[in-house]
Amino acid sequence: MKIRNILIESLLILLGILSAGMGLKGFLLPSHFIDGGVTGISILVADLTHVPLSVLIFVINVPFLILGYRKLGMGFALKSAAAIGGLSLALAFMHFPDVTPDKLLTAVFGGVFIGAGIGMAIRGGAVLDGTEIAALLVSKKTQVVRVSDVILILNVVIFGVAVFQLGVEKALYSILTYLSASKMIDFILNGLEQYTGITIISAKGEEIRLAVTQKLGRGVTVYQGKSGYGKDGHINAPREIIFTVATRLEVPLIKREVLKIDPAAFIVQQSVDDTTGGLLKRKKH
């Protein structure tokens, strides 16, 4: 099993390298567009200094790899170094066709290929861009700023510089590339089935549990709780709190069944980024 996992992770990283290389050499570089993160910084520096992009991508990522080694471990650092080194070699020695001169197609599909590459590399346990490492560490240290906020702030600075160096039009197309890549990363990591966590608080908890598990085929977790403080300041009657996870398409069906049993049920929904284990697929009766 361990060898199988290593092979799968290696294949994902390899495919990620090829996809990101295609996005860069097949789309962005011929049109002088950039992406966010270290890749965008490398392209801007290459444009200013004429140092090969393949060299800059690896060199600028080295400090982030060192941080990754210190904070996230040797295994992660080695995988990421191999992935970034592989991307540098692909940019230096592999030929990718210049797919289209159309600027809109270049921005959108360049982002799609780069995002797919980054997403596959992350699934393989590595990164192709050190920005994510830096953002994670800053977020953990401050405990105020989220990872996404750090990445956003960094990219605002990068695209601000791009406005002056590349011009407004190319900078705007580059922002479109970044947005396209971000959506593709989300798709690769989370897939089509976006899950939603549903918390149901009701006095008819047992009936709802049976409906969700037997009629809808979903697994549930049941908590014992109370309805909180009423107007008189005293805790009211006990309540069963039911938690389940479903796809977005199944949420309306679950809510409809719950409200049919108890129109006064309190239902809370929240998005779920990822899930592992449990009964996530509907049971077949």
pLDDT in tens, 55-74: 999 999 998 888 888 877 88
- Whether the Cβ atoms of residue 45 and residue 115 lie closer than 8 Å to each other: no
Q: What is the mean pLDDT of residues 262-270?
A: 87
- Whether the Cβ atoms of residue 54 and residue 127 lie closer than 8 Å to each other: no
Taking the model in full, what pTM does it have? Answer: 0.73
pLDDT at 247: 75
**Residue ranges of the domains in the chain?**
2-190, 195-272
User: Is the pLDDT score of 234 beyond 90?
Assistant: no
**CATH of 195-272 among 3.30.70.120, 3.30.2350.10, 3.90.180.10, 3.10.180.10:** 3.30.70.120
User: Is the pLDDT score of 37 beyond 90?
Assistant: no
pLDDT at 137: 66
Contacts of 269 (CB under 8 A, 6+ apart): 196, 197, 198, 199, 251
- Whether the Cβ atoms of residue 96 and residue 162 lie closer than 8 Å to each other: no
Distance CA 12, CA 31 (A): 28
User: Is the pLDDT score of 285 beyond 50?
Assistant: no
Sequence-ordered alpha helix ranges (H) in the chain: 2-23, 29-31, 37-49, 53-72, 74-93, 103-123, 131-142, 147-166, 168-190, 205-210, 251-261
Contacts of 119 (CB under 8 A, 6+ apart): 16, 184, 185, 186, 187, 188, 189
